[in-house]
Amino acid sequence: MEEIIPDKRIDIRGLKCPYTFVRSKLAIEQMNTGEVLEVLLNYPEASVSIPKSMQDHGQRVLSVDKINDTDWIILIRKERD
Amino acid sequence: MEFNGGQFTDDQIIRYSRHIILPEVGGKGQAMIASAKVFLIGAGGLGCPISYYLTAAGVGRIAIVDDDVVDLSNLQRQILHSTKTVGMPKVESAKAVLNALNPDVEIIAIKDRLTPQNILGFIKDYDIVIDGSDNFPTRYLVNDACVLANKPLSSGAVLRFEGQVTTIIPGEGHCYRCLFEEMPPEGLVPSCQEGGVLGVLPGIIGTLQAMEVLKLILGKGDVLKNTLLIYDALRTNFRKVRVPKNLDCPVCGENPTITALCSSYEANYCSA
Ligand SMILES: [Zn+2]
């Protein structure tokens, strides 16, 4: 599978909900349609809620990966403003 | 309030987080709220909740005009004022509370009486006008000024147990004179001072006006254009009455007779 290279990365480790989503949403708002955002986070609930909320807002979640004991990486492609 | 090209401070992100997470608002909508300038008439029963919520929402600049001072009898409904500020100009009493709530918002306190001579100068630099006055001469003056200056206007009124709200978009919808062409004769309609009002009522009508203003700023949803919303508090009933634009309206109709503000709105009939 082809590796996806994010257009923007944010590190929101240490943040809890709803600020995990607030930060992710602000980041994706400033991107262009078609670009990919990488979100690095360590708040377990957000690994589920961010993908769900992003989909509710019309964005496409490409992957959710647990990369070590504490952290997740989520890749989201911006589909709409 | 500045967002440095879309960048919020950490505190602003936290303060406005419940706005930002709404799909209809987001960071872009919050930035629109932050750059909006509104002009509010009255720091009384309606003006207090209107300015309280718009300040909380982070509206960039709010000017408030009122020439009155706080009276003990105001405190049953005018929630920005307090026992300690009795005797103080209402706009100063209000400004202190609003500044404490949200230092992002620029509050401009104007202790003055609104007149046909000063209103157009006051509103020209603002995006939206909000009428929270309690008398007919001011309501007609504000309506005519907004139609002539092409400014969106949120208008509210309360009496006893009934409130009314409407949103006037000059050039698109009705205006207050389409609804009631002339002021009622003096003495026929009691003013709020005589009429009495249950204190919560201006809170409900004022917050509806604040919501209308935020929707105008965001360009989301439907505002009360061509519509009068009537709230009957005793029966807990909201009723929407359709108000078509009156083509014969003396100020916004096809052949207006009011093409400039009248010299005085104190007289019962102003048809220029
Ligand atoms: Zn009209």
What's the gap in Å between A27 CA and the centre of ligand 1?
45
- Go through the domains of chain A in sequence order and give each one's CATH number: 8-77 (3.30.110.40)
Distance of CA B97 to the CA centre of its chain: 18
Six-digit token string for A35: 């670009």
In sequence order, the β-bridge partners of residue A77 are A36, A60
Helix pair angle (B47-57, B90-101), 10° resolution = 30
Say whether B26 and A25 touch across the interface (CB within 8 A). yes
3-state secondary structure of B151: coil
Centroid of ligand 1 to alpha carbon of B221 (angstroms): 23
Active-site residue flag, A17: yes
Q: How far is the CA of B38 from the centre of ligand 1 (A)?
A: 22
Tally of CA atoms within 13 A in the half-sphere of B214 that contains its CB = 22
Burial degree of B249 (CB within 10 A; 0-12, 13-18, 19+):
buried
B160 CA distance to ligand 1 middle (Å):
27
Task: State the best of A28, A29, A55, A79 to mutate against chain B, taking most chain B CBs within 10 Å.
Answer: A29
Cβ-proximal residues to B56 (8 Å cutoff; 6+ apart), any chain? B101, B102
Centroid of ligand 1 to alpha carbon of B260 (angstroms): 14
The confidence score (pLDDT) of residue B267 equals 60
What residue segments make up the domains of chain B, in order of their start?
14-242
**pTM (predicted TM-score):** 0.92
Taking the Cβ of residue B28 and every Cβ of chain A, the question of whether any pair is shorter than 8 Å is answered with yes
Question: Is some CB atom of chain A closer than 8 A to the CB atom of B22?
Answer: no
Query: Does B8 contact chain A (CB < 8 Å)?
Result: yes
CA-to-CA distance for A39 and A28, rounded, in angstroms? 10
Q: Identify the pLDDT of residue B181.
A: 80
Most B CBs within 10 A among A22, A30, A56, A57, hence the mutation to make, goes to A22
Find the closest chain B residue to A50 by CA distance: B21
Residue of A4, A17, A22, A26 marked catalytic: A17
Place of tokens 């509206």: B59
Cβ pair B243, B223 in contact under 8 A = no
CA B207 to chain centre: 10
b/e burial code for range A44-57 (CB count within 10 A of at least 16 → b): eebbeebbebbeeb
The class level of CATH for B14-242 reads: alpha beta
Report how far residue B93's alpha carbon sits from residue B70's, in angstroms, rounded to the nearest whole number: 8
Residues of B in contact with A23 (CB under 8 A): 13
Q: Is B255 exposed, middle or buried (0-12, 13-18, 19+ CB in 10 A)?
A: exposed
| Partners of residue B20 in chain A, C-beta under 8 Å | 22, 25-26
CB A40 within 8 Å of CB A9: yes
ipTM comes to: 0.87
- How many CB atoms are located within 10 Å of the residue B176 CB? 26
Buried b (16+ CB within 10 A) or exposed e, B238-248: eeeeebebbee
* CA-based nearest residue in chain B for residue A55: B23
Looking at CA atoms only, how far is residue A26 from chain B in angstroms? 6
Burial of B95-119, coded b for 16+ CB within 10 Å and e otherwise, reads bbbbeebbebbebbbbeeebebeeb
Facing residue for B14 by CB, picked from A19, A21, A57: A19
Helix (H) or strand (E) holding B13: helix B10-15
pLDDT of residue B2: 40
Element (H, E) at A40: strand A36-41
* pLDDT on residue B60: 98
Cα-trace Rg, chain B: 18
Tens-binned pLDDT, residue by residue, of chain B (272 aa): 444 345 799 999 999 999 999 999 999 999 999 999 999 999 999 999 999 999 999 999 999 999 999 999 999 999 999 999 999 999 999 999 999 999 999 999 999 999 999 999 999 999 999 999 989 899 999 999 999 999 999 999 998 899 999 999 999 999 999 988 877 776 666 666 567 899 999 999 999 999 999 999 999 999 999 999 999 999 999 999 999 999 999 999 999 999 999 888 876 555 54
